[in-house]
Amino acid sequence: GQQLNQSPQSMFIQEGEDVSMNCTSSSIFNTWLWYKQEPGEGPVLLIALYKAGELTSNGRLTAQFGITRKDSFLNISASIPSDVGIYFCAAGANAGNNRKLIWGLGTSLAVNP
Amino acid sequence: EAQVTQNPRYLITVTGKKLTVTCSQNMNHEYMSWYRQDPGLGLRQIYYSMNVEVTDKGDVPEGYKVSRKEKRNFPLILESPSPNQTSLYFCASSTGLMHGTGELFFGEGSRLTVL
């Protein structure tokens, strides 16, 4: 099936550093979402984006819906140990009916205290 | 507390022995879905349901069945499990409204091993 190109695949950073990850696609999407999965748990929604160019923050997290509608990025500022986990991007093609999301393979983040 | 509950959380079974993984949500969500997660393959959708009695195949439906007789429940059935169905399974739900179907609430996962 179709997948998003998510990079980097993994990151190992020092506490306090900023983090940036992105997702790209050759297709246009109307919704971009970012999820975080901690060990032993299901993914949890971090940020949802519905408009091209939209920039949305959730605490230290900031995500943007690319103007071309083919990409999105997620930034984490001043990382802390509890940021550890796998971050997934997902995108939906049909506004109002995102029954089948397309998923990236995830970015695994490790934070050294 | 709003939640999606899956059972069992862990299961080891043998090839061919029918099993059901239950999923229940208490948020009155219309949309429910099953995913499997495998190393290097990310999350892949098995089946989804837009509402009661409405189900449709995802990307990897082979070997699975689902039913949606009630709004809150969406069981995943493996009629004759095989080792390639060893995986971590997630149930998810969402409101199904205008933007809601992308904003998924996930269960904690069910780790299935088929010997």
Give A99's contacts in chain B (Cβ within 8 Å). 31, 48, 50, 56, 101
Identify the CA nearest to B99 among candidates A104, A95, A101, A37. Answer: A95
**Residues of chain B below pLDDT 50:** none
Determine the pLDDT at residue A94: 63
> Using 50, 70 and 90 to split pLDDT, how confident is the model at A98?
very low
Q: For residue A75, what are its two tokens?
A: 């930034």
Cβ A104–B42 below 8 Å, yes or no? Answer: yes
Determine the pLDDT at residue B26: 96
Is A48 in contact with B103 (Cβ distance < 8 A)? yes
Largest CA distance in chain B: 42
| Residue A79, burial from CB neighbour count under 10 angstroms (0-12, 13-18, 19+) | buried
Find out whether B90 and A103 touch, Cβ atoms under 8 Å. Answer: no
Interchain contact, A33 vs B99, CB within 8 Å:
no
How buried is residue B67: exposed, middle or buried, by Cβ count under 10 Å (0-12/13-18/19+)? middle
Asked, as a colleague might, if the bond just before B75 is cis with ω within 30 of 0, I would say no
A→B contacts (Cβ < 8 Å), by residue, are 1, 3, 31, 33, 35, 40-45, 48, 50, 88, 90, 92, 96-101, 103-106
Nearest CA in chain A to B39: A105
Residue B1: per-residue pLDDT: 87
Burial class (CB within 10 angstroms; exposed 0-12, middle 13-18, buried 19+) of B10: exposed
Closest approach of chain B CAs to the CA of A78, in angstroms?
26
Task: Give CA angle at A68 (A10, A73), nearest 5°.
Answer: 25
pLDDT in tens, A48-88: 999 999 999 999 999 999 999 999 999 999 999 999 999 99
* Alpha carbon distances (Å) from B3 to B19, B92, B98: 23, 10, 21
Give pLDDT tens digits for A32-52: 999 999 999 999 999 999 999
Q: Which two tokens stand for residue B8?
A: 């069992």
CA distance A17 to A56: 20
d(CA B90, CA B33) in angstroms, rounded, equals 8
Model pLDDT for residues B42-70, shown as the tens digit of each residue:
999 999 998 899 999 999 999 999 999 99
